[in-house]
Amino acid sequence: MHHVPLGVSDLAVSRICFGCWQLSPQFWGDVPLDGWRAAVRRAPDLGVNFLDTADAYGDGFAETELGRLFADPMLRDRFVLATKFYWNFDESETRFPDTRRARILRACENSLMRLRTDRIDLYQVHAWDALTRPDEVAEALIQLRREGKIRWIGVSNFNVEQLAVYRARMEVVCLQPPYSLLARDVEARELPYCLANRIGVIAYSPLFRGLLTGKHAPGTKLGDSRDEHPFFAEKALGRLQAGLAKLQPLADAEGLTLAQFAVRWVITHPALTSAIVGVKKPEHLEGIVKAAEGALSQETWHRAAKIMASAKKDAEALREQP
């Protein structure tokens, strides 16, 4: 798979990134670990050299499981490793946002220990923390870079104003926003801003938590947090799947499955560096890598966008009904 630079950093990353949120039992239930481990081991052979995790995924669980695999340093070195900090889950029964200096320094030490590595390639602020001064965040992150514990800094779920505040204080090489055929808010401001300022963009939930694969039958309980999401409710999912049925011929014409088409749609946007796909087993990764082998035409991209915008409107209309 083709690798591309991540913003202005010296990191070269695959256009598909392996997302590790699935090892968060609170959201995804118990994912069989044998299949997940096999997927991580398989990734580099498929050309996927980019891994995204967070200290908060399973409150350390995802990082710990990756660390077990990285006991083999040869495997660790085959990845550009990205993790995140933001939630304090050490000091209280309830998680709370905490990007104060001391917490960042400790969070980084904890991540390094769990991941059994001596450096994090991309250290991301998971979300904007309204209570901590940006100067304090920057001071901690610059210190960690100077010490060689982290190589580059990224942010997630930030808007343009928040990005600008951080960028005035330190080098930020990428933004991690949600982006898919069903989540396009960042198209208006964040994507043009990143494009203009050479900030990499790594999109999360490109399949809208799997919905855009079209494989979930309306009315089926998935046994995870998706059962609470309004778009996975029976009627809404039915309306969104009517949109996917209209998308199918476009995917067929490209020789792609719906899942591959949805990911290719995301990475066709010129601001996009990579799409972060949530993976539980090797088949998820094997079934998606083809998405990175090309781009959609301008016409196909817009047709697909229009189809799913209309299906989304139909699904959202259900919420307005009494």
Ligand X SMILES: NC(=O)c1ccc[n+]([C@@H]2O[C@H](COP(=O)([O-])OP(=O)(O)OC[C@H]3O[C@@H](n4cnc5c(N)ncnc54)[C@H](OP(=O)(O)O)[C@@H]3O)[C@@H](O)[C@H]2O)c1
Query: Can you give the binding site for ligand X, defined by CB under 6 A?
Result: 19-22, 52, 126, 156-157, 176, 204-210, 213, 215, 259, 276-278, 280, 284, 287-288
**Least gap, CB of 90 to ligand X (angstroms):** 20
**Least gap, CB of 322 to ligand X (angstroms):** 31
Strands 96-97, 50-52: pairing is unpaired
What is the DSSP secondary-structure string of 19-64? Answer: E-TTS-HHHH----HHHHHHHHHHGGGGT--EEE--TTTTTTHHHH
Q: Give the nearer residue to ligand X in terms of CB position, either 102 or 232.
A: 232
Q: Is 57 a catalytic residue?
A: yes
Decide: helix, strand or coil at residue 212.
Answer: helix
Q: Give the nearer residue to ligand X in terms of CB position, either 21 or 166.
A: 21
Catalytic residue among 57, 179, 193, 204: 57
**Least gap, CB of 133 to ligand X (angstroms):** 22
Q: Are 200 and 9 in contact (CB under 8 A)?
A: yes
Q: Read off the tokens for 276.
A: 């972060």
Between CA 218 and CA 110 the distance in angstroms is 41
Q: Give the nearer residue to ligand X in terms of CB position, either 157 or 248.
A: 157
Between CA 95 and CA 212 the distance in angstroms is 30
Q: Give the nearer residue to ligand X in terms of CB position, either 139 or 287.
A: 287
Q: Give the nearer residue to ligand X in terms of CB position, either 35 or 143.
A: 35
Q: Which amino acid is at 250?
A: L
Q: Are 265 and 8 in contact (CB under 8 A)?
A: no
CA distances from 28 to 217, 239, 281 (A): 18, 24, 13
- Phi first, then psi: what are they for 184, rounded to 5°? -120, 15
**Least gap, CB of 321 to ligand X (angstroms):** 27
**Least gap, CB of 283 to ligand X (angstroms):** 7
Q: Where in the sequence numbering do the catalytic residues fall?
A: 57
